[in-house]
Amino acid sequence: MSPEQLCKEISQFDTLIVRSSTEVSRELFLATTGRLKTLSGWTDKSFTMLLELLKEAFPEGDTLPKSFYATRVLLKDLGLDHHKVDACPKDCSLYWKDTGDRDNCIVCHHPRYKQFEKEKIEAKKKQKKIPHKIVRFFPLIPSLQRLFMTAETASLMNWHAAG
């Protein structure tokens, strides 16, 4: 690659970085990476390591939180964090709203929580209940609200609806 070509490549890369830093808000970036973490099973430590790498690689990354914990707090404040709901391991039902207090599946009556031998013996002792299955989901409405809070995005959405 000639020096001229290299300069051109670097210039295009710089333009890409500037464009991406203005077009993608910090909150949406964190919400998206937070979802990737949850859906892909990244550890808290690997997420923090990714943040550290981005901070070193891009000067704009310096506004990113320092750790996964700090990201989680921020996303919770914005209403963009995931929610957890217990579910039947056979995927019949969720323990949600009217069925939120049930101890067994409304369809197949499978117990909601794991039972251990020790628990059966010490049934009277209060122990932490462990559900058979937990489903994680991301509420759509706060994400849309965050999108429309950016004036530029809102005008693009209006154009799309009108056009």
Positions that interact with Zn ion (CB under 5 A)? 88, 90, 92, 105, 107-108, 110
Angle at which helices 151-162 and 140-149 cross, to 10°: 100
Cα–Cα distance list, 81 to 6, 14, 30, 31, 142 (Å)? 41, 31, 10, 7, 10
Q: Which is nearer to Zn ion, 64 or 87 (CB)?
A: 87
Q: Which is nearer to Zn ion, 27 or 86 (CB)?
A: 86
Closest approach of Zn ion to the CB of residue 39, in Å: 24
Closest approach of Zn ion to the CB of residue 131, in Å: 12
Q: Please answer whether residues 112 and 102 qualify as being in contact, where contact means their C-beta atoms are separated by less than 8 angstroms.
A: yes
Q: Which is nearer to Zn ion, 80 or 88 (CB)?
A: 88
Closest approach of Zn ion to the CB of residue 92, in Å: 3
Closest approach of Zn ion to the CB of residue 95, in Å: 10
Q: Please answer whether residues 47 and 68 qualify as being in contact, where contact means their C-beta atoms are separated by less than 8 angstroms.
A: yes
The maximal CA–CA distance of the chain, rounded, in angstroms, is: 77
**Closest of 111, 72, 117, 114 to residue 92, by C-alpha:** 111
Q: Which is nearer to Zn ion, 133 or 146 (CB)?
A: 133
